[in-house]
Amino acid sequence: MLALLAVSGLRLALPEALSVGPRWLLLVVVGLLLIPTVWARLRENDKLNQRFGYLLNAIVTIDMVWSLGLLIAALPAHKQSPGALLRSAAALWIANILVFASWYWRLDGGGPRARELSGVHKDGAFLFPQMTLNSETKLEMGEQYWSPGFVDYLFLAFNSSTAFSPTDSPVLSRWAKVLMMVQALISFMTVALLAARAVNIL
């Protein structure tokens, strides 16, 4: 939830020309949708909470991709200053990490609630190192009830945007492979376009 609010806040760093509507609009929409999402969680209505979570992620993802498209379209026109382009590209790159970390966290192993109810994470779309330990080693390390948290998915998303690969957690499911390819492509496009613009400036 906080990650999506952070993405909405990053939108404020974009020029108006690279935003769909006012820059504050996404922050308001996410803030309003968080109310029923949190309410559903507190009422233990897991299905409703999950649906609102998917809706929030989808809205933020569409907005990010749309802004990236506007950034690509703005480059040849040279309408934005180099500083604005650099700030916009950095904001979109960070947003890309947070958005996909949220998707991995929301989808892996049936979602955060399903992972919480299972007590220990044994099966999912990603093979985390803790999952490969034998029972004795897990007990010694105090990891017998280990389950991935948001930071684990954030680390995974960060690696996908910097190294363009999961450095410590193999990807097992097809949907996760597709999402990681999309994330890496968005990251690559952002960095490549920024480098191309920098070369033109020099």
Mean pLDDT calculated for residue range 113-137: 82
Mean pLDDT calculated for residue range 153-171: 85
Question: Which conformational region is residue 6 in: left (phi greater than 0), alpha (psi within -120 to 50 degrees), or beta?
Answer: alpha
Q: Is the predicted pLDDT of residue 74 greater than 60, yes or no?
A: yes
Give the pLDDT confidence score for residue 197 in this predicted structure: 63
Question: Which conformational region is residue 22 in: left (phi greater than 0), alpha (psi within -120 to 50 degrees), or beta?
Answer: beta
pLDDT tens-digit readout, 79-117: 667 777 778 888 889 999 999 999 999 999 888 888 888
DSSP symbol at 23: T
Lowest mean pLDDT among 3-17, 32-46, 91-105: 3-17
Q: Is the predicted pLDDT of residue 202 greater than 50, yes or no?
A: no
Please report, for residues 128, 148, 149, 162, 170, the alpha-carbon distance to residue 134 in angstroms, rounded to integers and kept in the order given.
Answer: 13, 17, 20, 31, 18
Q: Is the predicted pLDDT of residue 176 greater than 80, yes or no?
A: yes
Element (H, E) at 44: none
Q: For the chain, how long is the longest CA-to-CA vector?
A: 62
Report yes or no on whether pTM surpasses 0.75.
yes
Structure tokens at 110: 């049936």
